[in-house]
């Protein structure tokens, strides 16, 4: 009997020892955690005048902007990825730990993982947001909290897909913040379509000599034999993670008909509505075709059930950047941050030819003749009204997108 009691007491003491050894190490409770790397932050916190000056410098663009990339576990991350947040704790060796990160105000799950290690890394956190995180081992759970820095933009890590960020976080009308997690922008989620071409012999064997001869006359030496959908840029695990934590419902594809050849659905899978709306960039958005597709897109954005959106062209910079300018401008985001949202593509595209003067400046210039408003907000409002939307539509969009 004494042996049994001793064994029971031993087991109880072991559980107590096990439980009491679980402890949060970092970040410290209430810490403010950055979401941008030091080099990213150094650029985005410059005044607009200085950012424009740096952006046009070839040396800066090639060798300084967003460099050095963050190194995690001995591996260099992409320069266009956000700064990751490392969570660390103490606990018994050999235990299995379950880590959860939740938004403090809503309880929404932002991250979850079960692992043997006593640390993990978390990406894609919102800016200026309070988080609670917990570690569980056996029947014991410890918790802590931290807050993310209020530094724009909110850049995201989407392995395989570059140039991803959230339109949310900026300050808009009446000092209200644009809601995060509502509209995302990115590069394309699949490659250009793959084409195969007939050889001269194949065409002659098929009795299609005249087609070959016509092609040579038109200096088009290749005749398409088949076209297949471009390869998806990410795997199933990444897809599952993005859908779980970002919850995309609508994929707005701004690419042209050739770029989307054979496509009928989103690379994200059947739960996401794929909408093809071929768009234009810069001054081209005032054409009839572009306005028609803007109307198609904006109508979708007036319905809560369609959120969250992810919108993209191929690079996620020109057509996507132009549409983003309108969507953010309509929410009252100022000129400094409209420019910053476009500039953030520079963390990925370092080509010096991608510049304000050659590209971005054409957007605000095109709005000068599209309405009499003095400010960007008024001009964008006029554009949206001329596209056929009412003040009630504009107000509804703002109610859906501003906190």
> Directed axis angle between helix 376-386 and helix 391-401, to 10°?
120
**CA angle in degrees (0–180, nearest 5) for 156-36-117:** 75
Domain-ending residue, one of 208, 227, 246: 227
Whether the pLDDT of residue 20 is over 70: the answer is no
Asked, for residue 77, whether it belongs to a domain, the answer is: yes
Whether the pLDDT of residue 5 is over 70: the answer is no
Instruction: Supply the mean pLDDT for the chain.
Output: 92
Asked, for residue 16, whether it belongs to a domain, the answer is: no
Whether the pLDDT of residue 27 is over 50: the answer is yes
Which tokens go with 127?
A: 């800016």
Q: Positive or negative, the Cα torsion across 255, 261, 265, 267?
A: negative
Smallest CA-to-CA distance from 191 within 232, 252, 239, 236 is with 232
Q: How far apart are CA 316 and CA 310, in angstroms?
A: 11
Same structural domain, 258 and 367: yes
What value does the mean pLDDT take over residues 216-222?
75
Q: How far apart are CA 127 and CA 134, in angstroms?
A: 20
Asked, for residue 45, whether it belongs to a domain, the answer is: yes
245 contact partners, CB below 8 Å, separation of at least 6: 109, 110, 111, 124
DSSP states along 235-272: -HHHHHHHHHHT---EEEE---TTTTTT--S-TT-TTS
Q: Do the beta carbons of residue 271 and residue 243 sit within 8 Å?
A: yes
Smallest CA-to-CA distance from 17 within 144, 137, 145 is with 137
> Directed axis angle between helix 319-329 and helix 335-343, to 10°?
150
Asked, for residue 4, whether it belongs to a domain, the answer is: no
Smallest CA-to-CA distance from 122 within 78, 80, 81 is with 81
Same structural domain, 120 and 177: no
Asked, for residue 15, whether it belongs to a domain, the answer is: no
What value does the mean pLDDT take over residues 16-40?
86
* Listed range (93-97, 302-306, 368-372) with the worst mean pLDDT: 368-372
Domain at 56, CATH number: 2.60.40.10
Q: What is the pLDDT of residue 345?
A: 97
DSSP-assigned beta bridge partners for residue 194? 228
Q: How far apart are CA 96 and CA 118, in angstroms?
A: 9
Same structural domain, 106 and 188: no
Residue span of the structural domain in which 143 resides: 21-150
Q: Do the beta carbons of residue 311 and residue 183 sit within 8 Å?
A: yes
Q: What is the pLDDT of residue 13?
A: 43
Same structural domain, 221 and 330: no
Q: What is the pLDDT of residue 220?
A: 67
Asked, for residue 159, whether it belongs to a domain, the answer is: no
Q: Please give the tally of structural domains in the chain.
A: 3
What burial letters (b/e) apply to 357-383, b meaning 16+ CB within 10 Å?
eebbebbbebbeeebeeeebbebbbeb
Q: Positive or negative, the Cα torsion across 329, 334, 339, 344?
A: negative
Tens digit of each residue's pLDDT (9 = 90 or more) over 271-292: 999 999 999 999 899 999 999 9
Same structural domain, 202 and 94: no
Asked, for residue 306, whether it belongs to a domain, the answer is: yes
Q: What is the pLDDT of residue 12?
A: 41
Same structural domain, 118 and 182: no
Ordered strands of the 130-137 beta sheet: 31-33, 140-148, 130-137, 97-103, 109-115
Which runs of consecutive H residues, i.e. helices, occur in 301-390?
A: 319-329, 335-343, 362-368, 376-386
Whether the pLDDT of residue 55 is over 90: the answer is yes
Q: How far apart are CA 139 and CA 19, in angstroms?
A: 8
pTM of the model: 0.91
Half-sphere exposure of 61 (CA within 13 A, CB side): 21
Domain at 334, CATH number: 3.90.190.10
Number of residues that make up the chain: 403
Same structural domain, 27 and 105: yes
Q: What is the DSSP pairing of strand 224-228 with strand 194-197?
A: antiparallel
Whether the pLDDT of residue 97 is over 50: the answer is yes
Same structural domain, 204 and 314: no
Same structural domain, 141 and 188: no
Q: How far apart are CA 136 and CA 146, in angstroms?
A: 18
Q: What is the pLDDT of residue 154?
A: 98
Q: What is the pLDDT of residue 3?
A: 46
Asked, for residue 10, whether it belongs to a domain, the answer is: no
Same structural domain, 222 and 356: no
DSSP-assigned beta bridge partners for residue 227? 195
Smallest CA-to-CA distance from 165 within 290, 336, 348, 326 is with 348
Same structural domain, 246 and 264: yes
Q: Where are the beta strands (DSSP E) in 180-262?
A: 183-186, 194-197, 224-228, 250-253
What value does the mean pLDDT take over residues 193-200?
88
What value does the mean pLDDT take over residues 325-353?
95
Same structural domain, 204 and 176: no
């Amino acid at each position: 009997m004494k042996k049994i009691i001793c064994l029971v007491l031993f087991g109880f003491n072991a559980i107590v020892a096990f439980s009491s050894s679980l402890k949060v190490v970092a970040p410290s409770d209430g810490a403010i955690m950055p979401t941008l790397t030091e080099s990213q932050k150094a650029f985005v916190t410059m005044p607009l005048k200085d950012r424009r000056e740096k952006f046009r410098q070839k040396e800066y663009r090639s060798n300084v902007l967003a460099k050095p990339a963050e190194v995690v576990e001995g591996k260099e991350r992409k320069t266009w990825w956000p700064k990751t947040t490392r969570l660390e704790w103490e606990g018994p060796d050999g235990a299995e730990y379950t880590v959860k990160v939740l938004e403090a105000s809503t309880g929404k799950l932002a991250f979850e993982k079960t692992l043997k290690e006593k640390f993990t890394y978390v990406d894609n956190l919102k800016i200026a947001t309070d988080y609670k995180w917990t570690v569980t081992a056996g029947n014991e759970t410890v918790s802590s909290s931290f807050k993310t820095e209020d530094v724009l933009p909110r850049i995201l890590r989407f392995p395989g897909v570059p140039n991803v960020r959230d339109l949310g976080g900026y300050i808009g009308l009446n000092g209200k913040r644009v809601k995060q997690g509502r509209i995302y922008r990115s590069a394309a989620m699949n490659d250009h379509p793959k084409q195969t071409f007939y050889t001269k012999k194949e065409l002659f064997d098929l009795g299609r000599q005249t087609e070959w001869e016509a092609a040579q006359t038109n200096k088009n030496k290749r005749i398409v034999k088949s076209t297949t959908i471009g390869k998806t840029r990410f795997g199933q695990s990444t897809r599952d993670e993005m859908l779980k934590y970002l919850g995309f419902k609508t994929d707005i594809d701004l690419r042209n008909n050739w770029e989307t050849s054979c496509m009928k659905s989103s690379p994200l899978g059947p739960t996401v509505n794929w909408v093809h709306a071929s768009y234009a960039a810069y001054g081209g958005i005032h054409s009839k075709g572009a306005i028609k597709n803007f109307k198609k897109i904006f109508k979708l954005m007036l319905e809560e059930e369609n959120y969250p959106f992810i919108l993209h062209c191929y690079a996620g910079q020109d057509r996507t950047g132009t549409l983003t300018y309108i969507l953010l401008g309509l929410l009252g985001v100022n000129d400094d941050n409209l420019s910053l949202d476009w500039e953030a593509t520079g963390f990925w595209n370092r080509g010096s030819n991608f510049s304000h003067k050659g590209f971005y400046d054409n957007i605000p210039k095109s709005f000068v003749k599209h309405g009499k408003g003095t400010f960007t907000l008024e001009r964008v409002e006029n554009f949206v009204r001329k596209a056929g939307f009412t003040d009630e539509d504009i107000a509804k969009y703002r109610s859906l997108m501003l906190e």
